[in-house]
Structure 1
Amino acid sequence: MQPNKTKLALQIGAVVLGALCASNVYADTFTASVTTIDDVTITQRAGYPLTFGSNMFTQASTTCTLQVSNLAGTAYPGGLLMRHDSTAAVAQGANFGALTGTGCVSGKNGVTPGIWDISGIPGGSVSILVTQVAQSPTTFTYTPDQACYVDYSADTTNDADRCLALTPGNVVSALLPVSAVAEADATGGGANAGTPQPGIVSLAVGGTVAIGATPLSASTAYNLAFQIDVTY
């Protein structure tokens, strides 16, 4: 998967100031300055590739879902993994990274939800768009309908930072935290508290594979494709 990166373009317009009277014409040269910021980047976190493992059946017209953010919070990735503060009550859900559906073996054998870290200017915000794309071969589809991103609160309210659901095709705005201190959302700390990183917001992605009318081939590796767009 090759995510898109939108570069920042800066333009300064020129303004001409002048004064004219009957006796003279006055002109002068003025200067201005501009400071650029780093391009926004997307990096897949080491050790967290998106994979369904060797668990898919070949049967046609079946589905398999890798859980990340639904099932009433039981698939919640937790503060430690997503790098946000929380009290001990906000732990990783038991179903995070589990497979369900008739198209695969249920459980977590060799399964990993994908984690991506988006970096930019601390205190800024980015727009995130996750999009479904066509697969190759076209005998199956993949929908990134199990995904969440960290919604930082920009204050220290207990447990205000959460991993909110990301719906494919819907743009969301995410804050890039200023510092860990600015997002310390657990009074006295907590066993499941993560540490916010300045200028970094993370998203977790699972999703659903649906096999069409043609069965898959046995003992074959298939690649999944989807798109992430991030802009300032």
Structure 2
Amino acid sequence: MKHESIEINAGLLIVLTLVVISIGGLVEIVPLFHIKNTVEEVKGVRPYTPLELRGRDLYIREGCYACHSQMIRPFRDEMLRYGHYSLAAESKYDHPFQWASKRTGPDIARLGGKYSDEWHTQHLIRPQNVVPESIMPAYPWLAQNELKYDDIENRMKALKMTGVPYSLTEEEYQANVAEYGKEMADKLHIPNAKATLEAEANSRNRDGDKSRITEMDAMVAYLQMLGTLVDFKQYEEGYFANFR
């Protein structure tokens, strides 16, 4: 049989497999070159502030993506539980994105503002304090470890090389002022990074200890901004109507 002759010929099988994979890849990739903008323009999306950025780094370090996704699918059950489905533009400054692939815990794409800073702190110190049935492990060291941020400028510079609009020059700073407003542009200006992080951490007592800046401050700052950048009211009316 022809099929059997292919299977027993390793070289031919490899070549044909590569051909099939190439065709599949082209079918997915080529259409993108004919779309003017593969990431829609959405008002409100901005880069992470220095404190949020360090929180995201800790989120990755602790492997939170292994149990929590940040991608709400466009299905009715997803919408009813989590809110508006995730937009591609929400992840355009994520390197790498945190969509993840499974949910041992709930999706957290719309977590920001849902709970207080104190709730998040207690939840991370011992999840069962606030959710008795939780199987999430505890992360008490986040409240004990002082946040390391001496390299925050280098972290932002590295992301700037990937296209994230952090500013270094006056021209870039003014462009951010026009795009995000002066207050946010100041936070996105790399020469201000350390002072900005300290001011942001001290503006709210996220971890219950104002005497120092801990990893918990950064982690909570990151969690509290998830899903808060876009005003979904402009999308929800028409979208939710499809499920009534």
Relative to the length of structure 1, the TM-score reads 0.21
Structure that is richer in strand per residue: 1
Q: Which has the higher contact order (CA 8 A, sep 6+)?
A: 1
Question: Which structure: larger Rg?
Answer: 1
Structure that is richer in helix per residue: 2
